[in-house]
Amino acid sequence: MIIWVMKKNKVLAIDPGYERIGIAVIEKKDSGKEELLFSECFKTTTDTSFAIRLKKIGQEVAQVIEKYKPEVLAIEKLYLSVNQKTAMGVAEARGVIIYSASLYGLDIFEYTPPEIKVAVTGYGKADKKMVMSMVPRLIQIKKETASDDELDAIAIGLTFLACQK
Protein backbone atom coordinates (compact mmCIF):
# COMPACT_ATOMS: atom_id res chain seq x y z
CA MET A 1 0.00 0.00 0.00
CA ILE A 2 1.32 3.44 -0.94
CA ILE A 3 0.52 6.38 1.31
CA TRP A 4 0.92 9.84 -0.16
CA VAL A 5 1.94 12.50 2.29
CA MET A 6 1.22 16.02 1.15
CA LYS A 7 3.88 18.59 1.92
CA LYS A 8 2.77 21.29 4.27
CA ASN A 9 3.65 24.69 2.85
CA LYS A 10 2.17 27.18 5.31
CA VAL A 11 3.38 27.14 8.90
CA LEU A 12 2.33 29.00 12.02
CA ALA A 13 5.50 29.31 14.08
CA ILE A 14 5.47 30.33 17.72
CA ASP A 15 8.14 31.18 20.24
CA PRO A 16 6.11 30.50 23.39
CA GLY A 17 5.89 32.68 26.45
CA TYR A 18 3.19 34.31 28.51
CA GLU A 19 4.42 37.90 28.60
CA ARG A 20 5.85 38.06 25.05
CA ILE A 21 4.96 35.52 22.37
CA GLY A 22 6.70 35.53 19.01
CA ILE A 23 4.29 34.62 16.21
CA ALA A 24 5.07 34.17 12.52
CA VAL A 25 3.34 32.71 9.49
CA ILE A 26 5.61 31.57 6.68
CA GLU A 27 4.63 30.05 3.36
CA LYS A 28 6.87 28.09 1.03
CA LYS A 29 5.98 29.11 -2.51
CA ASP A 30 5.98 26.77 -5.52
CA SER A 31 9.29 28.35 -6.51
CA GLY A 32 10.77 26.94 -3.30
CA LYS A 33 11.26 30.41 -1.79
CA GLU A 34 9.89 31.11 1.67
CA GLU A 35 7.73 34.19 2.22
CA LEU A 36 7.00 35.76 5.57
CA LEU A 37 3.27 36.49 5.55
CA PHE A 38 2.98 37.79 9.11
CA SER A 39 5.00 38.30 12.26
CA GLU A 40 4.44 39.98 15.58
CA CYS A 41 5.41 39.99 19.21
CA PHE A 42 2.12 39.52 21.03
CA LYS A 43 2.26 40.90 24.56
CA THR A 44 0.19 40.40 27.68
CA THR A 45 0.37 42.70 30.66
CA THR A 46 1.40 41.91 34.20
CA ASP A 47 -1.62 43.73 35.61
CA THR A 48 -3.87 41.03 34.11
CA SER A 49 -4.48 37.73 35.89
CA PHE A 50 -2.55 34.76 34.58
CA ALA A 51 -5.77 33.00 33.53
CA ILE A 52 -6.83 36.00 31.43
CA ARG A 53 -3.34 36.20 29.91
CA LEU A 54 -3.62 32.57 28.82
CA LYS A 55 -7.08 33.25 27.39
CA LYS A 56 -5.74 36.20 25.38
CA ILE A 57 -2.90 34.06 24.04
CA GLY A 58 -5.40 31.42 22.89
CA GLN A 59 -7.58 34.07 21.27
CA GLU A 60 -4.63 35.63 19.44
CA VAL A 61 -3.49 32.24 18.12
CA ALA A 62 -7.05 31.51 16.94
CA GLN A 63 -7.26 34.88 15.14
CA VAL A 64 -3.97 34.29 13.33
CA ILE A 65 -5.06 30.78 12.32
CA GLU A 66 -8.41 32.03 11.03
CA LYS A 67 -6.80 34.83 9.01
CA TYR A 68 -3.80 32.99 7.50
CA LYS A 69 -5.04 29.37 7.41
CA PRO A 70 -1.74 27.64 8.23
CA GLU A 71 -1.52 23.87 7.93
CA VAL A 72 0.85 23.21 10.83
CA LEU A 73 2.11 24.66 14.08
CA ALA A 74 5.85 24.68 14.71
CA ILE A 75 6.70 25.51 18.30
CA GLU A 76 9.82 25.51 20.42
CA LYS A 77 10.14 22.73 22.97
CA LEU A 78 10.58 23.98 26.49
CA TYR A 79 14.02 23.58 27.98
CA LEU A 80 14.38 23.45 31.73
CA SER A 81 14.89 26.89 33.15
CA VAL A 82 16.63 28.09 36.26
CA ASN A 83 13.48 30.02 37.18
CA GLN A 84 10.87 27.29 37.74
CA LYS A 85 8.03 29.80 38.13
CA THR A 86 8.75 31.22 34.68
CA ALA A 87 9.18 27.74 33.18
CA MET A 88 5.81 26.64 34.55
CA GLY A 89 4.10 29.71 33.11
CA VAL A 90 5.69 29.18 29.69
CA ALA A 91 4.70 25.50 29.82
CA GLU A 92 1.09 26.46 30.51
CA ALA A 93 1.15 29.00 27.68
CA ARG A 94 2.57 26.31 25.34
CA GLY A 95 -0.34 24.09 26.35
CA VAL A 96 -2.86 26.77 25.40
CA ILE A 97 -1.08 27.39 22.08
CA ILE A 98 -0.94 23.68 21.19
CA TYR A 99 -4.56 23.19 22.26
CA SER A 100 -5.72 26.16 20.17
CA ALA A 101 -3.85 24.88 17.10
CA SER A 102 -5.22 21.37 17.57
CA LEU A 103 -8.79 22.75 17.63
CA TYR A 104 -8.18 23.94 14.07
CA GLY A 105 -6.74 20.59 13.00
CA LEU A 106 -3.15 21.78 12.63
CA ASP A 107 -0.39 19.19 12.81
CA ILE A 108 2.03 20.01 15.64
CA PHE A 109 5.82 19.96 15.26
CA GLU A 110 8.16 20.74 18.15
CA TYR A 111 11.82 21.69 17.93
CA THR A 112 14.51 22.06 20.56
CA PRO A 113 16.71 25.17 20.62
CA PRO A 114 19.73 23.20 19.26
CA GLU A 115 17.61 21.88 16.36
CA ILE A 116 16.53 25.43 15.51
CA LYS A 117 20.12 26.69 15.74
CA VAL A 118 21.35 23.96 13.38
CA ALA A 119 18.60 24.72 10.85
CA VAL A 120 19.25 28.47 10.87
CA THR A 121 23.02 28.72 11.42
CA GLY A 122 24.38 25.23 10.77
CA TYR A 123 25.73 25.10 14.34
CA GLY A 124 23.74 23.65 17.25
CA LYS A 125 25.54 25.72 19.88
CA ALA A 126 25.18 29.06 18.11
CA ASP A 127 24.49 32.00 20.38
CA LYS A 128 21.35 34.14 20.21
CA LYS A 129 23.16 36.92 18.35
CA MET A 130 24.21 34.51 15.59
CA VAL A 131 20.66 33.22 15.15
CA MET A 132 19.23 36.76 15.10
CA SER A 133 21.71 37.83 12.43
CA MET A 134 20.99 34.81 10.20
CA VAL A 135 17.20 35.00 10.12
CA PRO A 136 16.99 38.19 7.97
CA ARG A 137 19.53 36.62 5.59
CA LEU A 138 17.31 33.58 5.08
CA ILE A 139 13.97 35.33 4.57
CA GLN A 140 12.92 38.84 3.64
CA ILE A 141 11.44 40.73 6.59
CA LYS A 142 9.52 43.76 5.38
CA LYS A 143 9.41 45.48 8.78
CA GLU A 144 12.11 47.93 9.79
CA THR A 145 12.43 46.29 13.17
CA ALA A 146 11.35 42.91 14.36
CA SER A 147 11.63 41.89 18.00
CA ASP A 148 13.83 39.02 19.13
CA ASP A 149 10.63 37.08 19.86
CA GLU A 150 9.44 37.55 16.27
CA LEU A 151 12.84 36.53 14.90
CA ASP A 152 12.78 33.43 17.11
CA ALA A 153 9.33 32.52 15.76
CA ILE A 154 10.56 33.02 12.18
CA ALA A 155 13.57 30.79 12.93
CA ILE A 156 11.21 28.09 14.23
CA GLY A 157 9.12 28.32 11.04
CA LEU A 158 12.23 28.13 8.87
CA THR A 159 13.28 25.05 10.85
CA PHE A 160 10.00 23.31 10.02
CA LEU A 161 10.30 24.16 6.33
CA ALA A 162 13.94 23.01 6.24
CA CYS A 163 12.89 19.66 7.71
CA GLN A 164 10.30 19.06 4.96
CA LYS A 165 11.42 16.51 2.41
Of the residues 27, 34, 60, 149, only one is catalytic, namely: 149
Does the annotation mark 149 as catalytic?
yes
d(CA 22, CA 1): 41
Angle at 91 between CA 159 and CA 41, to 5 degrees: 60
d(CA 39, CA 131): 17
Using an 8 Å Cβ cutoff, are 147 and 39 in contact? no
**Quick one: DSSP state of residue 71?**
S
Of the residues 15, 60, 150, 152, only one is catalytic, namely: 15
Q: By three-state DSSP, how is residue 50 classified?
A: helix
Of the residues 27, 76, 150, 152, only one is catalytic, namely: 76
d(CA 79, CA 94): 12
Please list the residues that pair with 10 across neighbouring strands. Answer: 27
Using an 8 Å Cβ cutoff, are 104 and 59 in contact? no
Helices 148-163 and 128-138: angle between axes, nearest 10 degrees: 70
Could you give the residue numbers annotated as active site? 15, 76, 149
